[in-house]
A and B are shown apart, each in its own frame.
Chain A
Amino acid sequence: ETGVTQTPRHLVMGMTNKKSLKCEQHLGHNAMYWYKQSAKKPLELMFVYNFKEQTENNSVPSRFSPECPNSSHLFLHLHTLQPEDSALYLCASSQVGQSYNEQFFGPGTRLTVL
């Protein structure tokens, strides 16, 4: 157990649906991250929140909308996705300024867009 949980673990949605992914960290960290992993590609950073403020948005399409209501919870709201958005979405957390910003990961949500 890494102290980072994600729900749901699997999600199938149509292109017109709206769904949300949830991440919770129990480590007292002050930064949280969303990553996307597509087949045969490296983990790709999507969003970073430091102290609940979004500090990075790596040119992610607006159909992905993050929300960080507090330092322990992170959401990724999904709407009008495309089939190419099917991937594994990983959440991570870290304590910025400690242990070289070592990141702790959740198990991911496997998303399939039909």
Chain B
Amino acid sequence: ILNVEQSPQSLHVQEGDSTNFTCSFPSSNFYALHWYRWETAKSPEALFVMTLNGDEKKKGRISATLNTKEGYSYLYIKGSQPEDSATYLCASNPGNQFYFGTGTSLTVIP
């Protein structure tokens, strides 16, 4: 079993604030790190697949970085909007099996 940890567990920010959260994973046998956005009552939606140390990916106001040597990834949201409210999950898959963190629940207050 791979131990994937996310912090913080939950976060409340004001609309317009920028925020970031962390995913930690074992750095040995690293293959890929996945970020998902999960709104209540909907399917988790893939945001990024990150594979190379130093990778930085961006989708609109959301970006992510990866450090495979120390085993962490950051997700950043710039200028948070109420529609960004969701749970953000990360998962590491050293092979075919995914190991998920417990997620960071983000609430953006208008």
Contacts and interface: CB of A to CB of B under 8 A. Distances in A.
Nearest to B41: A107
A96 interface: yes
A13 interface: no
B101 A42 contact: yes
Interface residues of B, number: 25
B48 to A, nearest CB: 10
A101 interface: yes
Contacts of B97: 45, 48, 56
A76 B46 CA distance: 24
B49 A100 contact: yes
Interface string B1-38: 00010000000000000000000000000011010100
Contacts of A107: 41-43
Interface of B: 4, 31-32, 34, 36, 41-46, 49, 51, 89, 91, 93, 95-103
The 10 closest A-B pairs by CB, nearest first: A100-B32, A43-B100, A42-B100, A105-B44, A2-B43, A107-B43, A105-B43, A42-B102, A100-B49, A101-B96
